[in-house]
Amino acid sequence: MASSATTGNPMPPSLSMPPSQFARLQPHAYLRAHLSPPSSDQPSVRANGRATSQFRVTSVNTGSLTHANGSAVVRIGDTTAVCGVRAELLHTSDISSWGVSQAPSKQNPTNTNEAKDSKSEDEDDQGQIQDLNLLVPNLSLSTGCAPGLTPGAPPSALAQSLSHQILSLLHTTNLVRADDLRIWYQPPNFDSEEFHNPGEGMEVDTEQSGGPEREIKAFWVLYIDIMILSMAGNAFDAAWASVLAALRDTKLPNAWWDDDNETILCSDDFAEAHRLTLRGLPIASSFCCFEGDAAAGWRANVIPDAEEQKKKKGSQQKWILADPDGYEEGLTQERACVVVDKENGKTIIVKMEKHGGWNVDSDDLRKLVDVSSQRWDDLKQALEQC
Amino acid sequence: MRPAHPKEAAQKPTNFIEPARPQPSMSSREEPLSIPERDFILEALGQNLRLDGRQFDEYRPLNISFGEEYGHVKLQLGKTSIIVRISAEITKPFEDRPFDGSFNINMELSNMGSPAWENGRSNDLEPYVLEALDRIIRHSNALDTESLCILKGVSCWAIRADIHVIDFDGNITDAACIGVMAGLQHFRRPDSVVKDGRVIVYGLEQRVPCFNDSKQVIVDATRKEEQAAEGDLVIGINSAGDVCYISKHAGAPIDAMLIVTKTNLAWEKVKVLNAIVDKALQADLSKRADFGMADESRAANDRLIQPE
Amino acid sequence: MVSPILSQLNRPDGSAAYKCPATGYNILGAVNGPVELPARRDALKPEEATVEVFVKPGTTTAGVAERYVEGILRSVLGKVVLGREKGFPRRGVIITLAIAGGENMDRGDSYLTILPSLLHAALLSMISASVPLSMTFSAALFGVTKTGDIVRDPSPTAAKASVSLHVFAISSKGHLLLNESEGRFDFDTWELVHQRALSVCQGTASADGDVTMGEGAASASLHGLIREAVEDQIYSDYAYKLDSI
């Protein structure tokens, strides 16, 4: 840090303290001094030596946990996230709303109409995964991952909101196919009366007893546990990348309904296990916006109109920093996050959010989308290498 | 912190070095009344006067209205105002009671109701009110949980009442109790396929608290009156006139005969309150009928026929 | 359009009820501030006010989704509140938002459909509580359908069917205060929705020079609606003065 400070930016001569102390005493001025280029033709360099739109070195390692169905460790700079996916069976007879909620929506019976299934696959997927809670992400910030976290405390607001962001992104991207999680059963073609057994949880299907229909006997529920081992800013990107890598690594054992025992059996043959077929590869990139004018928030000043602000752009007052570290996150309030996917080389935005300020406008967001799509290429490579 | 003897207080009404009395239950962490203010209230009561000019046995104006959804009640009792929302979802019944659905009452006091309440932290008032509601409504089987069963041991309805206190000026227990009962009578759960049905509510039960204040007993106390009170008495009576709950929670001792006389008063009040709730339900019904929801209103009509 | 009601409650410093006509969400907001927060002394900032937001769902207890939306609201509102005004530093501005009406939120549901209503209720409550603000704002929800049409304020079912959902909050001075978008879309679509949001919120001239009045003649813009609600309140608050003149 010290060397980059002296080369990038000569300190005023009157200052007789080392840069590391300056960084602690006047963090805002320190970062601004770094970002302000000495001459207009030189690019801004951040205090950590990165360019403004440069991400930290990212490494991915999958399959590190032996007892999980899928796992991954993602390291972005000093931020490390571990994700383990564990699959558990959920019998449809145990779902209290299974018989009840299915019947009213007769126009969309999932277990009778295969052709229709594939047509409205997307909505159907989302519905079943969401209604039955088949994806259960939970993020925890481990003790000691950041100075502020005390052991034994309930999940912090940050951990809870990250959990929700991951869940909501899993739902909106339709990343996991519901069909990968279903365990079907095709009853043998006996005489329907003989076969018919008005046992537990079967009554609801009696009305459709035309012939032996293929039916869902159980679902796999994926418990996605994410642990942030070390937090040095930008926890969401790391957490999401670890979820993505772990889901790509996930293998579900071959499971089938055994009618004689009335239970689900799983094969312990590893070769029979199947991987999840994920939809796309959405990758998250987070940004923060650093305001040059430290006094902006200090005064009850009159805030210029958006138009005026645009005109003033010549003198740079803000820097948008990609993949902020902990130090930079502490100095900024405005955040942006773009999640992109690519299909045949075309960039598709899956989620975009920005809040906490008014400096990032639509032009900036356009640039961020471009940066994010570059990031997609880099991270895709990292994910495929492991 | 000793509980002041009522006689002592009556003899020395202006004794301002008297330590603050422990408040039995209400108004946790509210700004305490100033001593002159409390003495003023007590002295006025001594002269048969209440701050808002009500009689001792008079309720504040009760205003009930219903929202667009079934089971959405807005209730105002003077300046106390609450919103009750009833909702239903399908769950698995408990192993030991495969025929029963479940019914739960939830209340979370937020900063909205009173600046003294902190968001996300419980205070003393919350369990006190919930306990009373639990006993009056849940344990007296006001709601027939067996009617909530859909499929034995597999699925049942879980009914949930959420009480939002949006403005607090004393006597939430009454307001919440009336609100939940009105909400239950108004609510219709979604029709399930296996069994068509409505929530069967047996009788309306009400609670009437009587605040004992140096031998003066007042009904429906405001926040300030609650703060000046020495004790409280809660009586729950259902619409058939049976007493289902009596609680003399804490505070000054009262004469046993008082409970008997006040139970009579409570019964009178229950009849009045019942009439108000019924009137509000009828008004809502005709409003819905006007909107041409013939089907729904016909079904809702059934609800007014109460068993017993 | 149902006008929002300000200062309806007696106990909080400020309150507002906002009902979104299209989505049916009815939000009740209350603000207390500036208040002392003795329990959170170590979390208080030395030079500015602490803005706390609490979202209370109608028929469930608050969960992870509420923590998330609270975080968003806090970052938007915290930036708008002039927390360095006299009397505000080291104190709290507590905003409580109760979802008093409208559909339930299920676990994992997107919170976007309700976000504009929450923002409006919070803003109006803060105005009602006389919390100093650097600017006001208005917010709107848009859905993009499969055919590429932009629908303003889609109902919860329409929102579920749409390809992408966008929430914009535009300040009274035209800044983009908040954007939350999800679904599948490209930047050009986003830009179109953004333009639409600007016109809906500000009522400014659209590209072809027409002032967009299509959203209802009485309140051409959402900013206008917010302003009218506040003006009505001021008018009724000062009715005694007006009468005496």
- DSSP code string of A73-117: EEEETTEEEEEEEEEEEEEGGG-TTHHHHHTT-TTS-TTT-HHHH
Bigger pLDDT: B28 vs C46: C46
Query: Do residues B258 and B74 touch, judged by C-beta distance below 8 A?
Result: no
Q: What is the CATH number of the domain that holds B282?
A: 3.30.230.70
Count of the separate structural domains present in chain A: 2
The three-point CA angle A341-A325-A242 to 5° equals: 45
Looking at residue C71, what is its pLDDT? 92
Query: Do residues B187 and B69 touch, judged by C-beta distance below 8 A?
Result: no
Subunit contact A99:B151, Cβ cutoff 8 A: yes
Local confidence band at C85 (pLDDT 50, 70, 90 cut-offs): confident
Q: Is residue C218 packed enough to be buried (19+ CB in 10 Å), middle (13-18) or exposed (0-12)?
A: exposed
Gap from B197 CA to chain A (nearest CA, Å)? 14
What does the block give as tokens for B144?
Answer: 């027939």
The three-point CA angle C188-C193-C197 to 5° equals: 145
- The overall average pLDDT reported for chain A is 80
Query: Do residues A31 and A290 touch, judged by C-beta distance below 8 A?
Result: yes
Same domain, A100 and A187: yes
Cα separation, A241 vs A248, in Å, equals 11
Q: Name the residue facing B69 among C62, C98, C101 (closest C-beta).
A: C101
Gap from A225 CA to chain C (nearest CA, Å)? 15
Looking at residue A191, what is its pLDDT? 55
Same domain, A290 and A222: no
Domain boundary among A244, A279, A314: A279
Q: What number is the ipTM of this complex?
A: 0.87
In a domain? residue A6? no
Subunit contact A353:C180, Cβ cutoff 8 A: yes
A103 chain-B contacts, CB cut-off 8 A: 193
Q: Which CATH class is domain C5-244?
A: alpha beta
What is the Rg, in whole angstroms, of the alpha carbon atoms belonging to chain C? 18
Domain boundary among A227, A247, A279: A279
B110 chain-C contacts, CB cut-off 8 A: 30, 54, 56, 96, 98
In a domain? residue A205? no
pLDDT string in tens for chain B (308-residue length): 444 444 443 343 333 333 344 444 444 567 788 889 888 888 888 888 888 888 888 888 999 999 888 889 999 999 999 999 998 888 888 888 888 888 899 998 888 988 888 887 778 888 888 888 888 888 777 777 887 887 777 788 888 999 999 999 888 888 888 898 888 888 887 665 554 444 555 555 555 555 544 456 777 878 888 887 777 788 888 777 788 788 877 677 777 888 888 888 888 888 888 888 888 888 888 888 776 554 444 444 444 433 43
Would you tell me which residues 27-46 of chain C have a C-beta closer than 8 angstroms to some C-beta of chain B? 28, 30, 32, 35, 39
Range of the domain at B151: 27-301
Same domain, A71 and A218: yes
C82 chain-A contacts, CB cut-off 8 A: 300
Q: Name the residue facing A201 among B91, B154, B156 (closest C-beta).
A: B154
Cα separation, C149 vs A131, in Å, equals 28
Interface test with C, best of B77, B117, B119 (most C CBs within 10 A): B119
Q: How many CB pairs under 8 A join A and B?
A: 30
Q: What is the CATH number of the domain that holds A63?
A: 3.30.230.70
Chain B, nearest residue to A96 by Cα:
B155
Cα separation, A218 vs A210, in Å, equals 22
What does the block give as tokens for B273?
Answer: 């309150």
In a domain? residue A26? no
Q: Name the residue facing C72 among A305, A355, A360 (closest C-beta).
A: A355
* Residue range B61-92, pLDDT digits in tens: 999 999 888 889 999 999 999 999 998 888 88
What does the block give as tokens for C131?
Answer: 């919390």
Same domain, A295 and A264: no
Subunits that touch chain B (at least 3 Cβ pairs < 8 angstroms)?
Answer: A, C
In a domain? residue A33? no
Cα separation, A242 vs B84, in Å, equals 42
Say which residues have a Cβ less than 8 Å from residue B58's Cβ, sequence separation at least 6: B219, B220
* Residue range A228-248, pLDDT digits in tens: 999 998 999 999 999 999 999
Query: Hey, is the C-beta of C109 within 8 angstroms of any chain A C-beta?
Result: yes
pLDDT string in tens for chain A (386-residue length): 444 444 555 555 565 778 888 888 888 888 888 888 777 777 888 888 899 899 999 999 999 888 899 999 999 999 999 999 999 999 888 887 776 644 433 333 333 333 333 334 555 556 788 888 899 999 998 887 877 777 777 788 889 999 999 999 998 888 998 888 988 888 877 654 544 444 444 444 444 445 667 888 899 999 999 999 999 989 999 999 999 999 999 999 988 888 888 888 888 888 888 889 899 999 999 999 998 775 555 554 566 677 666 665 545 678 899 999 989 998 888 999 999 999 888 999 999 999 988 888 889 999 999 999 999 999 999 998 87
Same domain, A215 and A351: no
Task: Kindly provide the residue ranges of all beta strands, DSSP E only, lying in chain C, ordered along the sequence.
Answer: 5-6, 14-19, 26-35, 50-56, 92-101, 137-144, 150-152, 164-171, 176-185
Count of the separate structural domains present in chain B: 1
Element (H, E) at A339: strand A334-343
Query: Do residues A229 and A364 touch, judged by C-beta distance below 8 A?
Result: no
* Residue range C5-21, pLDDT digits in tens: 888 888 899 999 998 87
β-pairing verdict for A255-258 and A263-266 = antiparallel
In a domain? residue B1? no
Range of the domain at A299: 45-54+285-385
Say which residues have a Cβ less than 8 Å from residue A217's Cβ, sequence separation at least 6: A91, A92, A183, A184, A185, A257, A264
Domain boundary among A242, A262, A279: A279
- The overall average pLDDT reported for chain C is 84
Chain A, nearest residue to B193 by Cα:
A100
Gap from B119 CA to chain A (nearest CA, Å)? 14
